[in-house]
C-alpha cells in the first residue's frame, strides 16, 4: 500500500495507456456530449477536427480509467479528490489513437485538521501515440498517512 509518506515532490509515474475506439467515442458522445463533430465524420469535416474526435470529457474519463487501473499494480491509500484545476484539452483525440497517461507530484501538504490525511498536488499529462500532449490538468488528491 502506498501512503502519503511514500511519495515525494518530483516523483513521476507512467500510469499506462488506453486505445481509443470509434465505437466508444460515438457511444460516449451520444450519451454525454452529442455535438455533431463527436458523432459524424461529415459534420466534423466542416470543423478544425476534420473527422470524428473524442469529447474532451471522454478523454478525461479514459485518463481516469488508466490511472485507476494502475492502482491494481500499486495500491494506494487514496481518498478521492476535491477537484481539478487548469484542465486543458490541447489537441484532439481521435479513434485509433493510443493515449498514455503520466503524472508528476508537484506539491505535498499534510492536513492540519486531520492528522491521518495528506494531500498531493499532481500534474497529469496525456499524450497520443506520437508523443503529442493532448490533455493536461493539475489536481489535488487526498491520501491516507501511514498508520502509526
Mean predicted lDDT score pLDDT of the chain: 96
Q: Provide the residue ranges of all domains of the chain, joining segments of one domain with +.
A: 4-144
Radius of gyration, alpha carbons of the chain: 17
In the prediction, which pLDDT does 142 show?
97
Residue among 59, 63, 43 at smallest CA distance from 51: 43
Of all residues in the chain, the percent with pLDDT exceeding 70 is 100
Instruction: Note the pLDDT of residue 138.
Output: 98
Dihedral in degrees, nearest 10, Cα atoms 90, 93, 141, 6: -100
pLDDT attached to residue 74:
87
Tell me the pairing of strands 133-144 and 83-89: antiparallel
What whole-number distance in Å separates Cα of residue 120 and Cα of residue 139?
8
In CATH, the architecture of 4-144 is: Roll (3.10)
Task: Please check the confidence at residue 127 and state whether its pLDDT lies above 90.
Answer: yes
Cell numbers representing residue 5 in the block: 509518506
Amino acid at each position: 500500500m502506498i501512503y502519503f509518506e511514500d511519495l515525494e515532490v518530483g516523483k513521476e509515474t507512467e500510469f499506462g495507456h488506453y486505445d481509443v475506439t470509434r465505437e466508444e467515442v460515438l457511444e460516449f458522445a451520444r450519451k454525454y456530449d452529442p455535438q455533431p463533430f463527436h458523432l459524424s465524420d461529415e459534420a466534423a469535416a466542416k470543423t478544425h477536427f476534420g473527422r470524428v474526435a473524442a469529447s474532451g470529457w471522454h478523454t478525461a474519463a479514459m485518463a481516469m480509467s488508466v490511472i485507476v487501473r494502475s492502482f491494481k499494480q500499486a495500491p494506494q491509500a487514496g481518498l478521492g479528490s476535491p477537484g481539478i484545476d487548469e484542465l486543458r484539452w490541447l489537441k484532439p483525440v481521435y479513434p485509433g489513437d493510443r493515449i498514455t497517461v503520466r503524472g508528476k507530484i508537484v506539491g505535498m501538504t499534510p492536513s492540519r485538521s486531520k492528522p491521518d490525511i495528506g494531500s498531493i498536488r499532481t500534474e497529469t499529462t496525456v499524450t497520443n501515440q506520437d508523443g503529442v500532449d493532448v490533455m493536461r490538468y493539475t489536481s489535488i488528491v487526498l491520501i491516507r498517512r501511514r498508520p502509526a
